[in-house]
Structure 1
Amino acid sequence: MSEKSQGSLHFEISSALKSVIGQDLITNDFIAIFELVKNSFDANAKNVDLVFEESNETINKIFIIDDGKGMSYEELVNKWLFVAYSAKKDGTEDNSSSRVYAGNKGVGRFSCDRVGGRLKLQAKSVSDDLIHILNIDWGKFEENAKTKFENIDVKYATSSDFDLPKGISSHNSGVVLEISDLREPSSWDRKKLQRLKGNLAKLINPFGSSNSKIKLNMICQREKKADEFLEKEYESNPELELPELINGLVTNNIFDVLKDKTTSLSVVLDKNGHFVTTLIDRGELIYKIQESAQLYPLLADSEFSCQIFSLNQSAKSLFKRRTGIHSVSFGSLFLFRNGFRVMPIGEEGDDYWAIDRRHGQGYARTLGTRDLMGRIDIAGPESKFKEKSSRDGGLVETEASEQLLDYAVTKCVRRLEQYVVGVTWKDAIDKTHDTAQRLSLDENRSNIINLISKLSGSKKIELLDYSRNLVDVLNEKSSYFEESVERLSTLANRSSDKELMENVHQARKRFAELKKEEEEARRIASEELAARLKAEKKAKFEVELRKEAEKNASIQSQKRQQAENVAKEQETLKQEAVKKAESLNVAYEDEKKRNLFLLSNESRDSEQLESFLHQIVIYTSSAKQKITSTLLSLNNKNDIDREKLSTSLSEMLESVEKIMTTSRFATSANFKLDSTRITDDISLYIKQYLETISTAYNSRIQIKVNVNTKPFISDFTPIELGMVLDNLVSNAKKSRASLVTFDVSTEANNVLEISVLDNGKGLDSSIIEPSRVFEKGVTTTRGSGLGLFHSKKQIEKMGGEIFLPNDQPQTGFKIIIRLRK
């Protein structure tokens, strides 16, 4: 069958199209106003006023006033009134095909219909003398769906002046939108205005960027009195949350709030086609790397940039205090295209990046949207990054959007996660800090060294820079030294860092010497032990011989029969005794769990004594070697500076303190010291050590211990913790205190807090910086100035912290210790 041409037909457009691309497409008032602000942005406006007028306390008009380039009569007719036409899209808006715009679908103008039933548009270009005015009644389009769209009248007029709300200044050019006959006038209460301002802050400028192209000002006379009251209240009490004001510029200093207070990862795509990633933790550079963008070709010209913050407990508290809202309510990882938000990506409850989906599969190993805040910026045409027409549906799936999603998750979110989970989350105390002070602890530095060493080993990554403060040789006495020094050696070779290579070389030499000293100390201790055991065995043997010689042979014969009878009885008794011993042993082990220290010395286990004596000899030998080495340097007139001599004496003092503490354990401890560490209840240890050991060795001061916590089982060094407790009691005595109180409580599941308060003379007024009391040599008593210095060193070795709280008592001195499992 052949077709026969009968001419052409054409579509006719119903007036109902207005609702399809207006109220039905724009889903809420906030999105509608945002679309209108976008138009002001695209018109090169520098200032936009968003004015809410009221009658009888109810908002009845909304004005959007900008100082952009405005529109001429021809532009009104050929562009604004041309439905779905976008001069931005075809490149004729500014005679430029290279500029990118916030909107380019040609339907944003119908956002007015979502907010109100009537629109008065006033427009003036710089070259115009008159103002062009359109008056639109959207209801006319709803009267009869059979009426053609183009047959609905739009009233046109001109004027010599802008018709503006009271108090608003006129501009030389721009557009004024006056929306009246509001759809939901009663809904515009203070709460909704606050929500609108908060959303606009996120939509336009969520990180207080200094290069913001537009200033948006909200004005509502009805809310001015309430704003003034809240401002005065906040001025009189700055501890209150920042008030949510209606009137004023829509700004947000989120970036300033979070900068230097938490961990952040930034990525920029440079002109050479490299993604440059920088990780900073509370002001401390961790690393800076670069990698090629070849695997993501569709992002190569997208001007990609990213800034993500990890929100620990401290950062969340700071955010709430400074902004007045919870971080989770603000949102997580936003996406910006051409300078404006792509909704609803990053909103509370949105999981566009599948962060929470993954978090649900590995809670302890991953970050969730509650733990993140940030923005990703891209630029590009609709063909690559196209927003869904509903305006709150995110991006249409394209190959470019898929590459964007993959890079954002794998190279941005997971890189930040790798550091946070692998370093800061491992330190339960660190989450409460907004400074990088705990990063210098050996364990945290070791984890950072491990991370950077792995990055440097990748062939696809170039390591540009890293923290010289943290990525350096650990103290040779650290338990993490051997592990970290190998990684440092590898890193130094890969990065050709000669200084680091030399540091590693010297550290290995010092470590070898230290190992030799330790082995010598243990050899001497073992020889001492072997000689003592040999002497004891010989003495025991001689005693037995002497007793045997003194036996009367005649008595042996007479008592042989008696012995046989006794043997039978003893066998019976032995069987009963074995059963009883087993029962007693169970009870004894149970009692040992409750008593780490015995109150009497009657049942001293010889093996226990041996273990403590062995440790004492090791410490003594170590002190002896240090003294010998120092004396040799002095006798040989080798150069030995004051600092080196001070360090040697400090180490000797530490060894002597260990000997004293160990000797106290030897007569009271209810455990063997086969190694320097035990696993037990720290809270119980602290209570019993202070009440059993410290009290016995400290007169003239009362020691009170309050424990308000469940058992806190952890791996710790009893000798070193005992030294810390002794130092604190000693300091209290030196400050003439009659009472020192230890309050032990659990701050969180993994953090034990010990508050130490004495009633002595307190902190000396000569110490301007209280935190300096932990420095070597700083003292206000008759002491050496090493007690608190050693205490800080021991506590940090345990992964804890010791500090002076701000709320020092009027009389006395207070110190806080926090330990983690």
Structure 2
Amino acid sequence: MCKLFYLKYMNKEDSIYFNVDAGLIDRLGRELVGRAETAVSELIKNAYDADAKMVEVDFIDTQEKGGTLVIRDDGVGMTLDQLRNGFMTISSTDKIHNPKSLRYNRSKAGKKGIGRFATQRLGEKLIIITQTLESDDAIKLTVNWDDYKIDTALTSVENKIEFIPKARKEGTTLIIENLRESWSEADLRRVYRYVSDLLQPDYISDRSKELGLAINSDEFFKVVFRQISDNQPKIIADTNKMLLSKALAVIEGYVDSSQDGYCMVTSNSLDLSDDIIAIYNSEKTPKFHNLGEVHFKVYYFIYQREKYYADGISKTELSNIQKIANEQGGIRLYRNGFRVVPYGESNNDWLHIDKRYYNESGTNAPFGNRNVFGFVEIIDSNGNLFEETASREGLIENYAFRELTTFLHKALMAGRDRIRYAVEKLKKEVYQNNPSSTNQNEPPKTTFEKLEDLFKNVDDLVNNSSSDKSVATQNLKQSTQKIVKELKGDFQSIIDELGMLRVLAGLGLTIGEFTHEVVQFTPSIMGDLSVLGNQNLNDNGIQSLENLKRTIHLFTSYTSYFNATVSANVSRELKPQDVEKVVSQFRKVIQADLEKLNIELEIETYGYDLVSLPMHSSEWTSILFNLYTNAKKAIRRKSTDGKLKIVVGKEGKYVYLEFADNGDGIPVNNKARIFDAFFTTSSPVGFDASDDEKLTGTGLGLKIVKDIIQTYGGSIDIIDPETGYATCFKIELPLATNKQREEYEQYDV
């Protein structure tokens, strides 16, 4: 908004000057301040900027329209010049020239100067009474907003100024009469919560204290709300106190002064005290160049699962928190100490948490706005990175804002994956825990063995004679109840896994259909490339054609390989697999990718007849591609020239395969968890990633690999790598028997 000046007409025929219609005031009030709670918060911000310690807000007879709002602060007050050049100058530059308050050196709340329009938005008449320590009198200004009508010059509207005796040493009182809206007690509680959340919590980071930003535990700034009806005051307070200390887990993170992003998850209940997780902007640009001094903290809850909370929480407490979360859950944003709406408001899903995660299946760790109470702090004192819109309803969505949402999305996704992994592990422990067992070293029974025990117990209960129905019967009942409880846990795990498998099966069908269609286009593509090669191209054209040929060759190698694998797997026939040939074929498929990424692959073979027991050909494809994909990510994270080594041989009755890479390695504390469902060290995908991209790096890959191998009586472990390598997986599978090999003498791998 352009700064408006009072312009005196001059007697020059060659000049013309702007004038302003008084109706602009009404438009600015309605358009700059959209909501009543925003208007009240703007006035409280002004009191904060005036170094007030206490702000009293009285709603007098406001159950109907026409009531009165009084906002009284004990700040430094205003002189006549400050009133004229500040409040009475539209779009005053005072906060630009003086970004810090005089007495307490507070960072001022804003630069828009729309507090005066907030009073116009709220009521028809404004009375300002202000005084400073040095003044002998108080100044009283009366503004009738209805005088600012269209077709009236702004400079022709008079506002009465009076000098009256001081009622107190210093401070400012705003009296807004003839309120344009009614205010019920529920409305007041809503505004109170809004204003209570206006100042950012002090538990996000220590930077706000160091920089002198607003925090809601500041003993030098208090806000009191009262509802006064028939001269009877009633304190408005928020009776809902969030029990953040009871959270199941806490996700927190930051972007440091070097523009690097990090996050971590802590939870006593889930046994999570994880090391710091690096968050990358993108593969090509890992740093968040438009961010600095960003912090966040998110408190996570799972409802109706009080047994997950090791620190203790009752059903009633958890139920109350859930009720509060239904209305107040979400992630709020604070800029320079003050809240920015509408982020974190009810039904505001600015980080697309509900859209992406709340209704997903296959996990017992739901992740939605109703599961979190979150707070984001951005420090941008000069306003160079983040700028609020003119209405104070959100930030302008520039590069910095987009990087912020990218960082938060990826950090929350990384935190969610850690929590999901831990909950999956805890859930199994809860259901499978058997404290009454007399032999703690006894191996756990399979689901089928438990079912057999259940049938036996039921049979014993049915066939017991009436004389036996005493202690023995009671013991049978207790044993049956224990088995049923364990089976519930087994079946729940199966249901969760089926949910995961449905997603994978759907993706498999999509890949199968895609590769089938692509193969049909290959002859046409190669024909067109041949025609282009016969054209009279310049050097740049020839180079571009060669690059295109290499790219298409890599693409068709992958699609042909997957198409053949899918086709071979349709029959579901198991065949012995020559592991040496499997690896050789795999190398041909990824060779172009290896060259493109400058990765060296070495293959060593020891022995002969390295044939595994009968398997699906697609299963070896899944195993090798999972290991290769993980290795590429580890090499990329280390930013080094890649080296891979595959060793194939046999030991006793087993064929083995070792897969090593020189990436960034696996931390010692992660090695025991790397094969667990939902555990991942991969960097989260982008904010707008596709469903297929989201599926990668979810912590399912190595679990699926382990499940495949264990199904055939094999094993996969992390072993010490050779010199020059950081990680090495060793797979062992039973060798094919002579009978199996005879049955498939003509097998083709």
Q: Give the TM-score normalised by the residue count of structure 1.
A: 0.48
Match of 1:596 in 2: none
Report if the CA contact (8 A) 2:53-2:222 is conserved: yes
Secondary structure of 1:299 counterpart: coil
Match of 1:383 in 2: 384
| CA–CA separation in structure 2 for the residues paired with 1:46 and 1:223 | 28
Q: 2:275 aligns to what?
A: 288
| SS of structure 1 residue aligned to 2:276 | strand
Change (3 A) 1:428 1:677: closer
Is structure 2 residue 204 aligned with structure 1 residue 203?
no
What does the per-residue CA deviation read over 1:650-672, in whole Å, with 9 as the maximum and x for residues that have no partner? 99x639999xxxxxxxxxxxxxx
CA contact (8 A) 1:47 1:66 kept: yes
Q: Deviations over 1:128-185 (max 9, x none)?
A: 232111111000002xx121112211111122233xxxxxxx5x3221111111112x
Q: Which amino acid aligns with 2:461?
A: E
Letter in 2 for 1:38: K
Task: Give the corresponding residue for 1:305.
Answer: 295
Deviation at 1:703, TM superposition (A): 3.8
Distance 2:489 2:159 in 1: 68
State the alpha-carbon separation in 2 of the partners of residues 80 and 140 from structure 1: 17
Distance 1:348 1:7 in 2: 57
Q: Does 1:725 align with 2:724?
A: no
Partner of 2:419: 420
| 1:776-796: CA deviation from partner (whole Å, max 9, x where unpaired) | xxxxxxxxxxxxxxxxxxxxx
- Local SS of the residue matching 2:16: coil
TM-align CA RMSD:
4.7
Partner Cα distance (2:485, 2:378) in 1: 54
1:266 to 249, 252, 262: 252
Alignment of 1:25-424 (within 5 A): 25-54=32-61, 60-91=67-98, 94=101, 100-142=107-149, 145-162=150-167, 170=168, 172-184=169-181, 187-204=182-199, 210-211=217-218, 214-222=221-229, 247-248=235-236, 253-254=241-242, 257-269=243-255, 275=261, 277-282=263-268, 285-289=272-276, 291=278, 295-300=287-292, 303-314=293-304, 325-359=323-357, 362=360, 364=362, 367-380=367-380, 381-392=382-393, 394-411=394-411, 413-424=412-423
Q: Is the 8 A contact 1:206 1:251 kept in 2?
A: no
Contact 2:263 2:277 in 1 (8 A): yes
The residue type paired with residue 79 of structure 1 is G
Question: Displacement, 1:33?
Answer: 0.6
Cα distance change, pair 39–250 in 1 and its aligned pair in 2 (3 A): farther
Query: Which range moved further: 97-106 or 212-221?
Result: 97-106
Query: Deviation at 1:89?
Result: 2.2
Q: CA deviation at 1:223?
A: 9.8
1:87 Cα deviation from its structure 2 partner: 1.2
In structure 2, the CA distance between the partners of 1:152 and 1:270, relative to structure 1 (3 Å rule), is same
* 2:58 and 2:71 in contact (8 A); partners too: yes
| Counterparts of 1:96 and 1:221, CA distance in 2 | 32
Q: Secondary structure of 1:198's match?
A: helix
SS of equivalent residue, structure 2 residue 263:
strand
Q: Which has the higher helix share?
A: 1
2-structure distance, mates of 1:324, 1:295? 37
Change (3 A) 1:656 1:344: closer
Q: Is the 8 A contact 2:279 2:407 kept in 1?
A: no
Cα separation, 2, equivalents of 1:183 and 1:693: 80
AA partner of residue 44 (structure 2): V
| 3-state secondary structure, aligned to 2:67 | strand
Q: Which amino acid aligns with 2:188?
A: L
User: Once structures 1 and 2 are overlaid, which stretch shifts more, 360-369 or 37-46?
Assistant: 360-369
Equivalent pair of 2:77/2:172 in contact (CA under 8 Å): yes
1: CA distance, partners of 2:82 / 2:326: 44
Distance in 2 separating the partners of 1:415 and 1:319: 28
Aligned-residue sequence identity (percent) comes to 21
Q: Tell me which amino acid in the other structure corresponds to 2:253.
A: V
Contact 1:258–1:319, Cα closer than 8 Å, also in 2:
no
Shift in Å, 1:377: 0.7
3-state DSSP of counterpart to 2:72: strand
1:692 offset after TM fit, Å?
4.9
Q: 1:280 to 1:747 in 2, by over 3 A?
A: same
Structure 2 equivalent of residue 797 of structure 1: none
Aligned to 1:449: none
Cα distance in structure 2, aligned partners of 1:655 and 1:426: 19
Judging changes above 3 Å, is the alpha-carbon distance between structure 1 residues 37 and 119 closer, same or farther for their aligned structure 2 residues? same
Amino acid at match of 1:355: I
- The residue type paired with residue 420 of structure 1 is I
- AA aligned to 1:198 is R
Deviations 1:250-274 (Å, cap 9, x if unpaired)? 69743xx122432111224556766
Q: Which runs of 5 or more residues in structure 2 are unaligned?
A: 1-11, 204-215, 281-285, 307-314, 495-749
Displacement of 1:386 in angstroms is 0.9
**Partner AA of 1:334 in structure 2:** R
Change (3 A) 1:69 1:700: same
Secondary structure in structure 1 of the residue aligned to 2:47: helix
Alpha-carbon displacement from aligned partner over 1:530-549 (angstroms, at most 9, x marks no partner) = xxxxxxxxxxxxxxxxxxxx
CA shift, 1:376, in A, is 0.3
Match of 1:605 in 2: none
How far apart, CA to CA, are the structure 2 residues paired with 1:97 and 1:68? 11
Structure 1 position 676, deviation (Å):
5.0
**Equivalent-residue separation in structure 2 for 1:684 and 1:263 (angstroms):** 37
Once the two structures are TM-superposed, the CA of residue 199 in structure 1 deviates from its matched residue by 2.3
Deviation readout 1:305-353 (Å, 9 max, x if unpaired):
1011222105896667657943121130111111111110111111211
1:55 Cα deviation (Å)? 8.1
Instruction: Give per-residue Cα distances to partners, 1:196-216, cap 9 Å, x unaligned.
Output: 222223333568853475211
**Unmatched tracts of structure 1, length 5 or more:** 163-169, 228-245, 431-437, 444-477, 479-649, 659-672, 706-721, 730-741, 753-821
User: SS state of the match for residue 199, structure 1?
Assistant: helix
TM-score normalised by length of structure 2: 0.52
Counterpart position of 1:691: 461
C-alpha contact (below 8 Å) 1:207/1:252 kept by paired residues: no
2:26 and 2:401 mapped to 1: Cα distance? 30
Measured after TM superposition, the shift of residue 41 of structure 1 is 1.7
TM superposition shift of 1:423: 2.5
